[in-house]
């Protein structure tokens, strides 16, 4: 953000400015209370092990600190006859603890022992070397989380996503009033980024807009022309019946099939550039064509026959009847069906993934119909698949944006129908 500001305002070099800087996503979630500063130090399994030892009377309190009074076998193979410092006392401590819970094979069991636990065994052997080869009872200190658990507290540790210094600095900034929240306009104006706090939907919105323009430019005129021909000019025979049945069948075909068709024909055969709005628009025009044709034919059928008969009666040709009278009266219904078809195309993901329209777009300056792009549905798919937790909120926001576009388009279709449709 500082770099972008300096590039746009080089006169600021050498001056002190006040600039809003986005915090990293973990601290953003910490500030919102999404993730805690501290987490439980022990899981329920580890707490269960400690409870088992407590019930067996192994856990005792000495000098205000919990410890484990264990029977330790001083194995001569692990403790040499020489100085005690030569012995593997850590192994003796682990073996003695394992003997009390023989069915537990998780190495996290040994985190119950404090780092100084082997020293207690070493001191016992140093005080009485004759215990080598015998079983003696030794009190081994436990680690701090288990000390708190023995005291009836819930042991907590600092969230591993933060360090103590980072938490201290962040709390100091909050105390000075330098940390505040505002509406995230960058979501709409920033392109994609590997950092969640900088990622936005500008590239996806631009790619979606370009793709829908291509889709509309192809499907709207072709769909209307096909519907007008089938409804007004085509003779009723087996061929036109077959075409009508196939159009209705295409409306029920899963969109992923059109994606496979686009992958094989547009990319494989014609060699068009992949991941581009041109190919995406071509594929989605195949998806929307049946919807537009069916809606247009329904709108044409809704025009009363008396309109056609009156126009023919005053000497208009068949083409003039359709172009000057029938089509204008059917246009509100045609536009409604077209908008619904475009809304359907806006929400498609599977066919776009098949043609690779999920490119990483860090800048929108060079975007075009023949340049790699992404769309809102595929951007949501990419963010949802990201392991970074910060993209969870970004994914939710992108879904709301997509739903907003769909609601607006459907409302527009309803308004157009109610405002311009003629009742017969």
Average pLDDT score, the chain: 88
Within-domain flag for 386: yes
Number of domains in the chain: 3
Packing angle, helices 164-175 and 25-32, rounded to 10:
60
Enumerate residues 6+ apart whose C-beta is below 8 A from 57.
Answer: none
DSSP class of residue 22?
P
pLDDT band at 83 (very low <50, low <70, confident <90, very high): low
Measured CA to CA, the distance from residue 75 to residue 89 in angstroms comes to 10
Q: Are residues 349 and 244 in the same domain?
A: yes
Residue 352: which of 281, 282, 280 has the closest Cα?
280
Query: Residue 85 pLDDT more than 60?
Result: no
In a 3-state reduction of DSSP, which class is residue 256?
Answer: helix
Q: Is the dihedral of CA 316, 322, 326, 327 positive or negative?
A: negative
Enumerate residues 6+ apart whose C-beta is below 8 A from 190.
Answer: 198, 199, 200, 201, 202
Within-domain flag for 191: no
Within-domain flag for 308: yes
In contact, 335 and 348? CB cutoff 8 Å: no
pLDDT the model gives residue 184 = 82
Q: Are residues 136 and 70 in the same domain?
A: yes
Query: Residue 346 pLDDT more than 80?
Result: yes
Q: Are residues 30 and 165 in the same domain?
A: yes
Within-domain flag for 190: no
Q: Are residues 140 and 224 in the same domain?
A: no
pLDDT the model gives residue 12 = 81
Q: Are residues 325 and 376 in the same domain?
A: yes
Chain centre to alpha carbon of residue 371: 24
- Calculated CA dihedral for residues 47, 49, 53, 59, nearest 10 degrees: -40
pLDDT tens digits, residue range 30-66?
888 888 899 998 899 999 999 999 998 989 887 778 8
- Containing domain of residue 169, as a range? 2-37+159-182
Give the mean model confidence (pLDDT) for residues 140-151.
90
Q: Are residues 212 and 350 in the same domain?
A: yes
Q: Are residues 175 and 250 in the same domain?
A: no
pLDDT the model gives residue 86 = 64
Chain centre to alpha carbon of residue 175: 33
pLDDT the model gives residue 424 = 65
Packing angle, helices 202-228 and 327-346, rounded to 10:
140
Within-domain flag for 249: yes
Q: Which residues pair with 332 in a beta bridge?
A: none
Q: What is the pTM of this model?
A: 0.71
- The alpha-helical segments, DSSP class H, found in 104-201 are 117-127, 144-150, 164-175, 186-189
Left if phi > 0, otherwise alpha if psi is -120 to 50, otherwise beta: which for 152?
left
Q: Are residues 168 and 274 in the same domain?
A: no
DSSP class of residue 38?
E
Q: Are residues 138 and 110 in the same domain?
A: yes
Q: Are residues 90 and 217 in the same domain?
A: no
Within-domain flag for 187: no
| CATH classification of the domain holding 322 | 1.10.3720.10
Q: How far is CA 364 from CA 175, 189, 360, in A?
A: 38, 10, 11
Q: Are residues 109 and 170 in the same domain?
A: no
Within-domain flag for 281: yes
pLDDT tens digits, residue range 183-237?
888 889 888 888 888 889 999 999 999 999 999 999 999 999 999 999 989 888 8
More confident residue, 218 or 10: 218
The dihedrals phi and psi of 268, each to the nearest 5 degrees, come to -75, -45
Pull the structure tokens for residue 382.
């990419």
Pull the structure tokens for residue 242.
């077959």
Within-domain flag for 30: yes
pLDDT band at 81 (very low <50, low <70, confident <90, very high): low
Residue 339: which of 412, 281, 282 has the closest Cα?
412
Q: Are residues 173 and 203 in the same domain?
A: no
In contact, 28 and 204? CB cutoff 8 Å: no
């Amino acid at each position: 953000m500082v770099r972008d500001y300096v590039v746009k305002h080089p006169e600021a070099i050498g001056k002190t400015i006040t600039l809003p800087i986005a915090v990293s996503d973990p601290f953003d979630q910490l500030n919102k209370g999404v993730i805690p500063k501290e987490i439980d130090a022990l899981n329920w399994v580890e707490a269960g092990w400690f409870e088992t030892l407590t019930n067996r009377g192994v856990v005792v309190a000495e000098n205000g600190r919990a410890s484990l009074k264990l029977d330790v076998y001083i194995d001569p193979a692990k403790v040499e006859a020489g100085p005690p410092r030569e012995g593997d006392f850590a192994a003796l401590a682990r073996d003695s603890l394992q003997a009390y819970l023989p069915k537990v094979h998780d190495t996290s069991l040994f985190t119950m022992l404090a780092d100084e636990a082997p020293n207690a065994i070493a001191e016992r052997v140093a005080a009485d070397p004759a215990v080598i080869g015998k079983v003696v009872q030794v009190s081994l200190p436990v680690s701090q989380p288990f000390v708190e658990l023995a005291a009836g507290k819930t042991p907590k540790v600092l969230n591993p996503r933060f360090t103590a210094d980072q938490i201290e600095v962040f709390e100091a900034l909050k105390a000075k009033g330098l940390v505040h929240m505002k509406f995230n306009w960058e979501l709409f104006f920033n392109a994609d980024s590997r950092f969640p706090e900088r990622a936005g939907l500008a590239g996806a919105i631009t790619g979606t807009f370009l793709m829908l323009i291509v889709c509309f430019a192809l499907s709207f005129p072709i769909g209307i022309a096909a519907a007008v021909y089938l409804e007004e000019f085509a003779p009723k025979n087996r061929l036109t019946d077959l075409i009508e049945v196939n159009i209705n069948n295409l409306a029920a075909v899963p969109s992923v099939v059109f994606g496979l068709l686009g992958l094989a024909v547009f990319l494989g055969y014609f060699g068009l550039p992949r991941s581009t709005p041109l190919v995406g628009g071509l594929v989605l025009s195949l998806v929307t064509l049946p919807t537009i044709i069916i809606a247009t034919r329904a709108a044409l059928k809704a025009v009363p026959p008396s309109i056609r008969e009156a126009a023919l009666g005053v000497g208009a040709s068949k083409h003039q009847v359709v172009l000057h009278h029938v089509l204008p009266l059917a246009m509100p219904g045609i536009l409604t069906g077209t908008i619904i078809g475009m809304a359907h195309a806006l929400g498609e993901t599977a066919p776009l993934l098949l043609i690779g329209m999920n490119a990483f777009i860090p800048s929108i300056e060079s975007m075009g119909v023949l340049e790699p792009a992404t769309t809102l549905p595929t951007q949501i798919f990419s963010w949802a698949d990201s392991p970074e937790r910060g993209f969870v909120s970004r994914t939710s926001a992108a879904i709301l944006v997509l739903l907003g576009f769909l609601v607006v388009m459907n409302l527009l279709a309803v308004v157009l129908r109610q405002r311009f449709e003629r009742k017969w």
